[in-house]
Amino acid sequence: MVESVSDFVPYGRRCRKLRNSARCRLQKVYDACEHQHTKMSSAPSIEPTDVPPAAAPELAVPAGPANVEPATGFEFYRTQFALLAGFTVPPEAKSRFEARAAQIFHSRCESLRDQTLVGSPSVIFMLKNLREIHAEMGINKIMCSPCNEQRAGGFIPGSGILLCENRIMGFGMMEDTLTHELIHAYDHQRFEVDWMNMRHHACSEIRASSLSGECRWWREFKKYGFGDFVKHHQACVKRRATLSVMAHPHCRDKEHAETVVNQVFDSCFADTRPFDEIYR
């Protein structure tokens, strides 16, 4: 599930943050032409949201046009430049570019996943606790795949964790996303969560948003500037949990999601298991 760990940043901020790196330019071009294969127009425009794991398989979409040979070398960079400059690109060249971009995203995602599994204290801690409750999450259950909306990942009961390779931009985002999803996996095993129950879903989203690190004050400060430093964490957790619950099939509207989140917030926010407290 992903709003929390998936901290989607608008292209302008991402490019400034990455200092207009080639990786950011590639992401921008790829997403611009990705509309041919996905329905991004229906996705939230501000922050990614989670969906109940029962619906999570819908996150995965084809990586690109089938049976298309990826562009290589000069052709790839020529097409990238043409798309960035707004020139008309033949459909075949665009398909070959997309196929190569999809390969790059998949390789990057797997590399970041592998680094995080051995280099992130929060991820290592969650994996240890999952083993202790007989819910081991091996690398074969943490999959990289393109996603059809602005989210960073998802937890699928019985299958594992999906990481959205065309959304995750770096190690920090991978760490938060994976920690978020591992908390969902922990809740599913430890508390027998009924994901079609909105209160259960909201409680797990509150815990994942609070404990994953995506609501730490420095991230919120960089996104929104000065604010209420005393209550920023709680406000961030509520906002992210509400966005996630809005994607629940039984949720009528934002007000309905906010009501459910508020009903369970105090008890779920106070429950930091398996952590001793909120560290990040």
Q: Where are the domains of the chain?
A: 11-270
Out of 19-28, 66-75, 117-126, least confident range: 19-28
φ/ψ of 219, rounded to 5, equals: -65, -45
pLDDT (0 to 100) of residue 124: 96
What span, in angstroms and rounded, lies between the C-alpha atoms of 200 and 192? Answer: 9
Residues catalogued as catalytic: 181
Report the mean per-residue pLDDT for the chain: 78
Dump pLDDT digits (tens) for 32-82: 544 433 333 333 332 434 555 544 444 444 445 557 788 787 888 888 888
What span, in angstroms and rounded, lies between the C-alpha atoms of 167 and 240? Answer: 17
How many Cβ atoms sit within 10 Å of the Cβ of residue 230? Answer: 8
Q: Where on the phi/psi map is residue 107: left (φ > 0), alpha (ψ -120 to 50), or beta?
A: alpha
pTM for the full predicted model: 0.74
